[in-house]
Amino acid sequence: MRASSAISAGLNLAVLAGVILAAVVVPETPREDKTLVDRTVRKFNAMRRISGGREEETEGYYEDLFQSSRRSVAISAVVSGQWAAKWTTWEFKQVQESTMKRRSDFLYFELLPHLDVREVDGRLVTNSFGMADREYPTTRQAGFRRCAFIGDSMTRGLGSSPGANYESLLEDSLTAMGPNPEYQGYEFLNFGVEAYRLTQMVEVVRTKAAEFSPDCYIVVLSDLSVARKWADHIWQLVNDGIDLQYDFLKDVVKRAGLRAGDDAVALESRLAPYRPEILRWALGSIQAMAARQNAEVVVILVPNVSDQVALAESFRGMSDLTRSLGLATVDLLDTFAGIQNLTPYKVPRSGDSHPSDKGHRLLFERLLSRIQANPQAWQVFTGVREANGSGPGF
């Protein structure tokens, strides 16, 4: 019994030492310039909350927040307002200030223009509009079909080389194929930004992409958009007292009883019953805005390079939802199914499931194959109204 007590005491001392070390080493948010004792007590209480009664509720949440790529960690900190534990204050500020612009409105943050920086195992290059893409004029060129890709880091191509993500590969491929004689080529504008949620994508369509007068919108949904941390954007707006912009969201927040100061776990719990309603509103809003612009919409369900069973669960019901809205949908969730060794297809960094250049190549091949087999999607992408030898099945 004494030996057991000694071991227990030793473990408690070790935990306390670890908490004190964390309080010393891990930087606080800029507004919390507190003493070592204050920081130690708060961190100890935070550890107890995470590891205590809420363990089941928070399973995977903090790991997802802090164990993705270095840039994703930093962006999560921009969204959550807290320093990521793996970063020093200086490192975080370098990433935040060099690649992201914080906004005080509904969109909340965006990529800076004219970037050319290394990240993860790829490179981030942005044009004069802050898109991770080549330069495009605002006015659509005559003889070109233009599509706006709306999404998060999976669309933006985090971890891939410039021009090697699936969106760029499809643009180049369709231009080379020339399926529609009415067009000289295709322009696919990439409005993807890491950590964007579906609610932010609505705002991108309304305020950014519309300026470029696209013929179609390609809304790319990852598990981040529809399941994992899907409500983070709403929480941050409520927490920071930023106008929710849309009457529908204001009503949902009121019905859910959300208040500034609620933590992310409590918010997810309260918003969970409204998730289908919010997803339907967001996609329906994009569809309605596109219709007013005489533009069409396709939804793509895109996987990260991870467990297929978990992916299927995250996207459950999404095809039914898009079908009920009459939206053409391209399901790529089985792209990496059956591959025994996924390592070459994702960025070579522990805990990261973003596709590598090779992974994006596979996504592109699957996407091209699927839209060729889907007349509705093929028409939206290419403008080809009927299969005539250069459309689906050629």
pLDDT of residue 97: 61
Question: Does pTM surpass 0.85?
Answer: no
On the question of pLDDT at 86 being above 80, the answer is: no
pLDDT of residue 51: 38
Least confident piece of the model among 19-33, 115-129, 145-159, 223-237: 19-33
- What distance in Å separates the CA atoms of residue 43 and residue 46, rounded to the nearest whole number? 5
Task: Give tens-digit pLDDT for 190-212.
Answer: 999 999 999 999 999 999 999 99
pLDDT of residue 308: 83
pLDDT of residue 228: 79
On the question of pLDDT at 298 being above 70, the answer is: yes
pLDDT of residue 282: 98
Least confident piece of the model among 41-45, 120-124, 257-261: 41-45
Q: How confident is the model at residue 72 (pLDDT cuts 50, 70, 90)?
A: very low
Q: Following DSSP, what letter does each residue of 227-285 receive, concatenated? A: TTTTTHHHHHHHHHT----SHHHHHHHHHHT--TT--HHHHHHHHGGGHHHHHHHHHHH
Superfamily assignment of 96-382 in CATH?
Answer: SGNH hydrolase (3.40.50.1110)
- Per domain, the residue ranges of the chain are 1-52, 96-382
- Amino acid (one-letter) located at 355: P
On the question of pLDDT at 170 being above 90, the answer is: yes
pLDDT of residue 216: 97
Q: Which two tokens stand for residue 231?
A: 């409500």
Task: Give tens-digit pLDDT for 347-391.
Answer: 887 678 899 999 999 999 999 999 999 999 999 999 997 644 444
